[in-house]
Amino acid sequence: MMQAVWLTAGTAFVVAVLLGPLFIPVLRRLRIGQSIREEGPVSHKKKSGTPTMGGTIILLATAVTVWQFAGRSPAALLAVGATLAFGLIGFIDDYIKVVKRRNLGLTARQKLLAQGAVAVLFFLALARFHGFSFDVYIPLVDVTWHLGGLYLPFLALVLIGTSNAVNLTDGLDGLAAGTAAIALGTYVVVAWWNSQYDLVVFCAAMMGALLGFLVFNAHPARVFMGDTGSLAIGAALASAAVLTKTEFWLILIGGVFVAEALSVMIQVFAFQTFGRRVFRMSPLHHHFELGGWSEWRVVSTFWAVGLCLSAGALVLYARG
């Protein structure tokens, strides 16, 4: 089985590396460049115009690889379907930004409604999925809740929350891609332990595609993933958590994404309530940037934190 994991991840990696030189020049010719928000760090202004929507590379590499190695496995198709659906929402968002040459694409309400619709479809698919229960296990306190129909809002929270958390993390070269590759690598192990080999293929393929994308996205980035990639990655992580029944473990495995999202919520709450900022700038990675850390130092530190959190999660999960 280990050979199959390496073969799957390696195939997705190679496909992504081969797609990069084909897609990036096209994106440049079409002038599909990133718009940098005005309130962001000054050092990021030089990144304006860097090709975006590179998440398409990740999605294609993942879909092709999963189709090759998992075929029509229901679990793999569910995960790929949710990932591609959120990727489509991100693609539309990126397209609006590019056409209108502005940093804001879909409105928050439009994006939320679209994501909610995908969550409903995912729930309906799960309801027909053989052997899937709407139970939620809370680790450490060893409690299981049967949610029944209430699993829908819970599922929506997991999908939408994770996708937007990854989206917020995607602010530095290689940060979101590297952190997500670590988290998905963790889910390769979790799915393997659960004997869910179709999900092993999905997670390994996504991990390999992300590592291949990092060849072009690591500092200095030649292409950004855009919302096309970040929303899709979040959906992939959430799908893996849901299908392996480890929804609450995702809080630890994706701890970096949780911290990034919480930093934004804390910053907004503190400013609106007290008129003061807790962080120099949010999301959290900008706080460290403005504190004098280099971009690479922030990214490598966050990767290391993500690796430690994932390792800790695997140790605790193995102990039951």
What residues form the annotated binding site? 167, 227
Q: At residue 144, what are phi and psi to the nearest 5 degrees?
A: -120, 130
Give the number of other Cβ atoms within 10 Å of residue 262's Cβ: 15
Alpha-carbon span 153 to 115, nearest angstrom? 12
Determine the straight-line distance between the first and last CA of the chain, rounded to whole angstroms: 23
Binding site feature residues for Mg(2+) = 167, 227
Alpha-carbon span 204 to 252, nearest angstrom? 19
DSSP string, 38-65: TTS-GGGGGGTT-B--THHHHHHHHHHH
- Give the closest residue to 169 by CA, choosing from 121, 222, 217: 217
Contact 246, 314 (CB under 8 A): no
Alpha-carbon span 223 to 221, nearest angstrom? 5
Whole-angstrom CA distances from 91 to 64, 85, 86, 284 are: 18, 10, 9, 25
Amino acid (one-letter) located at 279: F
Give the number of other Cβ atoms within 10 Å of residue 134's Cβ: 17
CA atoms within 13 A on the CB side of 161: 19
